[in-house]
């Protein structure tokens, strides 16, 4: 496939990108474009997310194909990297430095004037909630605090594109909420954000678009709603809890579109239906007519994780 | 005038490698070695023995195993420390020219090592070689500074494409540079020690001196007979080539950033 | 099937004996050594001197047998030991320096100590692995060489041969053990294998320079005892050559080994306390 850029002018463009690490094919002829807003990069371990991030941030060149960020090649264009902010995964820092020194140093290395970098670093760290730990060594920070410090260094030089690799890993729930809130605020101010994560159920509340990756290939991309609609093409699971699960199961099996019913335990019925819309429309009538006492109703399939599982098992892409 | 990136990275190298406990320990150890030579010089029976100590210092210190291991310490850190820490990823994602990033760090490592070795040479030289040989002691600074640059650049180059910089550096020193210098075949011509020790011999040693004659006739350093000017040019060329190759590699070859 | 799908069940299979469980640590580390390219290369290079020396002995025997009546002398063993000592020191730096340092750096000490494995046994497991590796570079070549020499040398008798072999084994065993203990003790102090290895090499070779300086200043040969390589060389003379002036160096080396063992034990206990307190 020739490496023609899919959407010239998009923030990030990969055209037939291939990346090999020796015999390992990490990215397999990937064509992708990412625009503004918050885009989630989702995939299991080894899918190629960090490789994509490495290509986008200019840490490595592709083995073949093209990579363009903000219209330029990040591997060769040194000045472009001043417009990109990168928050890597893992526990990486100069642990002997304080949070203030760490963020300031990286701001200076990003091209800021040292005085400005110091002032902005302090502002950023205070705003993100690290005012009490500004001058403590990073080795004494908790995981959440380190993640916040890393986020500060990534945005200090006001980049146009922010790339975050697993920013929610190891972070406590409160800090996750704060980080996601900060990301939404930055996106609202015009920053394009690419974030990779495994914490799918929290990510989907923050992101505008999703890119699903598996084994170095693109499985699906689109808005969260577009991705969810893919589910309509495959049987949908619904679970109910009732006092008389067997009788309820028999009644539900008779409904059109229901392809299977399973008793999971003493109370739970798992229903698989090809037409969730029709099923939900018919369900109140069934319950009312039979008099069953349904105590709970939910669908394990109404989230990104379910979509992803379906797609990874070969149901789409 | 150093480019801004190189200056920034030199300062960063000093902050993260030199201003650490490890480097202080290295400095202290070198200082103690120097003091031992000084003590030996004070205790030595006469000027002949003192001069012999100075020559021993030169060939085992700034032109010997002390230089190589200290150069391995500082040189490998040029390329390997940030990768081992996992912090190379921050530097490489910054708008910094990769060759200048490498050269800035290399320059800092060279300067630090050269200052240490030169200071050691002055300290030991004054108490062993004696003030009467001051001009020779000062002339010895030329090969010492050059030798620091060559070995730091060599180990920095090795560390850019080999994960285990210690193994490679130790093999280069202990299984190549030193053994080949002492085998009877002309293999010493393939070592970096050959031009370095030849230059030391040429500028720092008094050919009329009986202690020098004794050392020369013992056969130990007989093979280091390259002319000083040739040695000087060879060392400069080697330094430029190694630094150039390493900087070029830094520009075109992505480092292995996978954290171990 | 994943454990979580099978439902929780208590393990009912065979268990390793608590007395020998630490050997798992030794086995793991030994296998890990040979996964490292540089360790394999150094171990291979370390075979070169013994092959060379063996060839010299065989050629010598051939030549001298042809000349009739001459018995090859055994003066090559000290030179072989000296050559193998370099490889042992290098291997100890490259392979042994990270044994405890890397566990500290990766916070893996807790993983070991959360098992029914005491800190002492953890250290002994690491020690056994390193001793095994260094024995391959030092003890085995020396033993093979001495065996070859005894086979081709005329005269001496069976008792002489056995004594010589035992002396070689004893000397090289002590050298290997002391080296492993010193390197492990150093490794327990650091978190970066590279710097621990450099420290070991620095101590090893710097001590020779310092001994030479002292020797020149004091015009004395006994200062060679202040160098580590000198201690090994002189110490070998006691058991293998039967020279009494090798007694003090051998004792100093043994003392260094005992001191390293005690320090290592103390250090590992401290590290264990610190790890558990996290």
As a whole number of Å, the end-to-end CA separation of chain A is 18
Residue C61 contacts residue C149 (beta carbons within 8 Å): no
Inter-chain Cβ pairs, chain B and chain C, closer than 8 A: 85
- Of the ranges B104-108, B251-255, C59-63, which one carries the lowest mean pLDDT score? C59-63
Please determine, for residue A1, whether its predicted confidence score (pLDDT) is greater than 60.
no
pLDDT in tens, C89-130: 999 999 999 999 999 988 888 888 888 888 999 999 999 999
Instruction: Specify the pLDDT at position A317.
Output: 39
- C213 with B167: Cβ contact below 8 A: no
Inspect the structure and tell me whether chains C and B have 3 or more CB pairs less than 8 Å apart.
yes
Supply the Cα-derived Rg of chain B in whole angstroms: 19
Nearest Cα residue in chain B from C96: B167
Q: Which of B86, B87, B93 sits opposite A86 (nearest CB)?
A: B93
Asked whether A112 and A157 are in contact (CB, 8 A), the reply is: yes
DSSP code at position B94: S
Model confidence over B165-193: pLDDT tens digits?
A: 888 888 888 878 877 776 667 777 888 88
Do A110 and B95 count as a contact with CB atoms less than 8 A apart?
yes
Are A94 and B89 a contacting pair at CB < 8 A?
no
pLDDT of residue A30: 93
Say how far apart CA C91 and CA A26 lie, in whole Å.
Answer: 35
Spatial CA neighbour of A60 closest among A74, A81, A49, A77: A74
**Is the distance from CB of A94 to CB of B88 less than 8 angstroms?**
no
Neighbours of chain B (3+ CB pairs under 8 A): A, C
Greater pLDDT, A267 or B207:
A267
Residue A25 has pLDDT above 50, yes or no: yes
User: Could you tell me which chains touch chain A, where touching means 3 or more CB pairs under 8 A?
Assistant: B
- Mind listing the pLDDT tens digit for each residue in C124-165? 999 999 999 999 999 999 999 888 888 776 666 778 788 888
CB atoms within 10 A of CB B2: 13
Contact residues, chain A to chain B, C-beta under 8 Å? 54, 57-61, 78-82, 84, 86, 88, 90-94, 96, 105-106, 108-111, 153
Residue range A222-239: mean pLDDT, rounded: 75
Average pLDDT over residues B97-104: 92
The confidence score (pLDDT) of residue B260 equals 38
CB of C97 within 8 Å of any CB in chain B?
yes
Round to whole Å and give the CA distance between A164 and A166.
6
**Which residue in B92, B96, B254 is closest to A61 by CB distance?**
B254
Q: Between the CA of residue B71 and those of A307, B56, B156, B157, B254, what are the distances in Å?
A: 56, 19, 9, 12, 24
Closest residue of B to A87, CA-based?
B90
Q: Is the pLDDT of residue B211 over 80?
A: no
- C213: nearest CB among B37, B45, B73: B37
* Tally: H helices and E strands in chain B: 13, 0
CB B254 within 8 A of CB A61: yes
Give the 3-state secondary structure of residue C106: coil
CA distance A194 to A165: 8
User: Mean pLDDT for chain C?
Assistant: 85
Nearest residue of B to residue C194 by CA position?
A: B166
Question: Tell me, what DSSP letter sits at residue C86?
Answer: H
Q: Report the alpha-carbon distance of residue A132 to residue A122 in Å, rounded.
A: 11
CA distances from residue B73 to A24, A36, A99 in whole angstroms, order as listed: 33, 46, 28
Candidates B8, B20, B259; nearest CB to A90: B259
Q: What is the mean pLDDT of residues A187-208?
A: 84
In the predicted model, is pLDDT for residue A300 greater than 90? no
Decide if B93 touches A, using CB distance below 8 A. yes
Residue C111, Cβ density class (10 Å: 0-12 exposed, 13-18 middle, ≥19 buried): exposed
Average of pLDDT values for A259-284? 87
The pLDDT assigned to C114 comes to: 82
CB B165 within 8 A of CB B80: yes
Q: Quick check: A88 and B89 CB within 8 A?
A: yes
Banded pLDDT at A16 (limits 50, 70, 90): very high
Closest chain A C-alpha to B127 CA, distance in angstroms:
39
A56: distance to nearest CA of chain B, Å?
10
Per-residue confidence (pLDDT) for residue A9, from 0 to 100: 66
**CA of A150: which chain B residue's CA is closest?**
B90
3-state secondary structure labels for all residues of chain A? CCCCCCCCCCCEEEEEEEEEECCEEEEEEEEEEECCCEEEEECCCCCCHHHHHHHHCCCCCCCEEEEEECCECCCCCCHHHHHEEEECCCCCCCCCCEHHHHHHHHHHHCCCCHHHHHHHHHHHHHHCCCHHHCCCEHHHCCHHHHHHHHHHHHHCCCCCEEEEECCCCCCCHHHHHHHHHHHHHHHHCCCEEEEECCCHHHHCCCCCEEEEEECCEEEEEEEHHHHHHHHHHCCEEEEEEECCHHHHHHHHHCCCCEEEEEECCCCEEEEEECCHHHHHHHHHHHHHHHCCCEEEEECCCCCHHHHHHHHHHHHCC
* pLDDT of A231: 61
In whole angstroms, give the CA distance from residue A286 to residue A292.
9
pLDDT at A69: 95
How far apart CA A32 and CA A67 sit, in angstroms, is 10
Terminal CA-CA length for chain C = 34
Contact flag B12-A86 (C-beta cutoff 8 Å): no
Whether C179 shows a pLDDT value over 90: the answer reads yes
Report the Cα–Cα distance between both ends of chain B, in Å, rounded: 38
* pLDDT value of residue B44: 80
Average predicted confidence (pLDDT) for chain B: 86
| Helix boundaries (H) for C68-156 | 76-91, 98-105, 109-113, 119-137, 139-152
Which of B18, B90, B102, B163 to mutate: most A Cβ within 10 Å?
B90
Question: pLDDT at position A316, please?
Answer: 44
Q: pLDDT tens, A84-133?
A: 999 998 888 888 889 999 999 999 999 999 999 999 999 999 988 899 99
* For range C48-71, the mean pLDDT: 73
Express each pLDDT in A250-263 by its tens digit.
888 888 888 889 99
Residue A6: pLDDT band (50, 70, 90) is low
CA dihedral A172, A173, A178, A181 (to 10 degrees): 140
Radius of gyration of chain A (CA): 24
Q: CB A59 to CB B96 under 8 A? A: no
ipTM: 0.83
The pLDDT score that the predictor gives to residue C74 is 56
Dihedral angle of Cα C58, C61, C64, C68, to the nearest 10 degrees: -150
pLDDT of C1 strictly over 60: no
- Nearest-Cα residue of chain A relative to residue B11: A105
Per-residue burial over A259-297, b = 16 or more CB atoms within 10 Å of its CB, e = otherwise? eebeeeeeeebbbbbebbeebeebbeebbeebebebeee
Please give, rounded to a whole number of angstroms, the shortest distance from the CA of B220 to a CA of chain C: 15
User: pLDDT band for position C278 (50/70/90)?
Assistant: low
Q: Do C209 and B61 touch (CB under 8 A)?
A: yes
Confidence grade of residue A243 (pLDDT, cut at 50, 70, 90): confident
The DSSP call for residue C7 is -
The mean pLDDT of B85-94, rounded to a whole number, is: 90
The number of beta carbons lying within 10 Å of the beta carbon of residue A208 is 15
Task: Give residue B34's Cα distance to chain centre.
Answer: 16
- Pairwise CB contact (< 8 Å): A61 & B92: no
pTM (2 d.p.) = 0.84
Residue B86 forms contact with A (CB below 8 Å): yes
Residues from chain B that touch A108, judged by Cβ atoms under 8 A, are 8
Residue A79 C-alpha, separation from nearest chain B C-alpha, in angstroms:
5
Q: How confident is the model at residue A57 (pLDDT cuts 50, 70, 90)?
A: very high
Residue A249 has pLDDT above 50, yes or no: yes
Within 8 A of C210 by CB-CB distance, chain B residues are: 33, 36
């Amino acid at each position: 496939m020739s490496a023609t850029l899919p959407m010239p002018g998009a923030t990030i463009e990969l055209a037939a990108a291939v990346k090999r690490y020796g015999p390992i094919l990490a990215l397999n002829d990937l064509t992708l474009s990412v625009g503004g807003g918050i885009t989630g990069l989702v995939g299991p371990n080894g899918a190629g997310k960090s490789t994509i991030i490495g290509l986008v941030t200019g840490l490595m060149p592709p083995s073949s194909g093209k990579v363009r960020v903000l219209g330029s090649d990040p591997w060769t264009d040194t000045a472009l990297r001043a417009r990109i902010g990168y928050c890597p995964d893992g526990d990486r820092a100069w642990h002997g430095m304080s949070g203030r020194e760490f963020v300031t140093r990286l701001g200076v290395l990003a091209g800021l004037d040292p005085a400005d970098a110091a002032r902005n670093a302090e502002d950023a760290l205070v705003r993100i909630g690290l005012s009490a730990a500004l001058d403590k060594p990073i080795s004494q920070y908790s995981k959440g605090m380190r993640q916040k410090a890393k986020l500060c260094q990534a945005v200090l030089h006001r980049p146009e594109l922010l790339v975050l690799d697993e920013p929610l890993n190891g972070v406590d729930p409160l800090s996750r909420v704060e980080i996601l809130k900060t990301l939404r605020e930055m996106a609202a101010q015009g920053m394009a954000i690419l974030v990779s994560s495994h914490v799918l159920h929290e990510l989907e509340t923050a992101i505008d678009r999703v890119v699903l990756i598996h084994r170095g290939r693109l499985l699906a991309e689109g808005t969260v709603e577009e991705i969810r609609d893919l589910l309509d093409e495959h049987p949908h699971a619904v679970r109910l809890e009732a006092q008389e699960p067997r009788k309820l199961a028999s009644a539900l099996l008779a409904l059109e579109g229901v392809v299977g019913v399973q008793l999971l335990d003493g109370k739970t019925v798992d229903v698989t239906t090809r037409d969730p819309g029709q099923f939900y429309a018919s369900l109140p009538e069934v319950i009312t007519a039979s008099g069953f006492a349904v105590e709970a109703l939910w669908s394990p399939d109404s989230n990104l994780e379910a979509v992803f599982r379906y797609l990874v098992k070969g149901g789409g892409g | 005038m150093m480019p801004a990136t190189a200056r920034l990275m030199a300062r960063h190298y000093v902050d993260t490698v030199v201003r650490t406990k490890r480097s202080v320990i290295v400095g202290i150890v070198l200082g103690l070695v120097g003091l031992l030579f000084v003590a030996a010089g004070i205790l030595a029976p006469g000027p002949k023995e003192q001069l012999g100590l100075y020559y021993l210092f030169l060939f085992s210190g700034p032109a010997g195993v002390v230089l190589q291991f200290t150069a391995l310490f500082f040189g490998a850190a040029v390329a390997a420390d940030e990768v081992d820490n996992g912090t190379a990823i921050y530097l490489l994602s910054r708008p910094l020219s990769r060759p200048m990033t490498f050269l800035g760090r290399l320059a800092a490592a060279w300067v630090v090592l050269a200052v240490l070795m030169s200071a050691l040479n002055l300290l030991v030289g004054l108490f062993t070689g004696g003030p009467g040989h001051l001009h020779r002691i000062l002339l010895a600074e030329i090969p010492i500074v050059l030798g620091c640059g060559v070995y730091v650049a060599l180990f920095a180059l090795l560390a850019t494409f080999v994960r285990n910089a210690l193994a490679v550096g130790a093999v280069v020193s202990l299984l190549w540079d030193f053994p080949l210098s002492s085998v009877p075949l002309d293999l010493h011509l393939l070592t970096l020690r050959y031009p370095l020790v030849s230059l030391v011999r040429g500028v720092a040693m008094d050919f009329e001196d009986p202690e020098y004659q004794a050392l020369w006739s013992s056969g130990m350093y007989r093979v280091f007979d390259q002319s000083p000017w040739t040695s000087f040019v060879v060392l400069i060329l080697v330094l430029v080539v190694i630094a150039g190759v390493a900087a070029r590699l830094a520009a075109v070859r992505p480092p292995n950033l996978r954290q171990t | 099937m994943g454990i979580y799908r099978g439902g929780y069940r208590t393990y009912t299979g065979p268990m390793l004996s608590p007395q020998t469980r630490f050997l798992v640590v030794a086995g793991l580390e030994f296998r890990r050594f040979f996964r490292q390219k540089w360790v394999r290369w150094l171990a291979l290079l370390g075979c070169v001197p013994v092959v060379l020396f063996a060839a010299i002995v065989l050629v010598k025997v051939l030549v001298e047998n042809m000349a009739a009546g001459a018995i090859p002398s055994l003066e090559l063993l000290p030179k072989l030991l000296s050559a193998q000592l370099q490889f042992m020191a290098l291997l100890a730096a490259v392979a042994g320096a990270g044994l405890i340092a890397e566990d500290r750096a990766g916070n893996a000490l807790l993983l070991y100590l959360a098992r029914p494995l005491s800190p002492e046994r953890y250290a002994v497991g690491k020690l056994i692995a390193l001793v095994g590796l260094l024995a391959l570079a030092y003890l085995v070549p020396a033993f093979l060489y001495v065996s070859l020499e005894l086979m081709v040398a005329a005269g001496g008798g069976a008792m002489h041969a056995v004594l010589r072999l035992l002396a070689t084994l004893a000397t090289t065993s002590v050298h290997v053990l002391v080296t492993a203990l010193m390197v492990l003790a150093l490794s327990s102090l650091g978190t970066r294998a590279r710097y621990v290895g450099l420290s070991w090499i620095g101590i090893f070779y710097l001590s020779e320079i310092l001994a030479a300086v002292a020797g020149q200043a004091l015009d004395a040969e006994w200062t060679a005892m202040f160098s580590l390589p000198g201690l090994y060389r002189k110490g070998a003379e006691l058991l293998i050559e039967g020279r009494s002036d090798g007694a003090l160096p051998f004792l100093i080396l043994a003392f260094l080994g005992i001191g390293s063992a005690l320090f290592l034990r103390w250090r590992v206990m401290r590290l264990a306390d610190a790890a558990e307190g996290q």
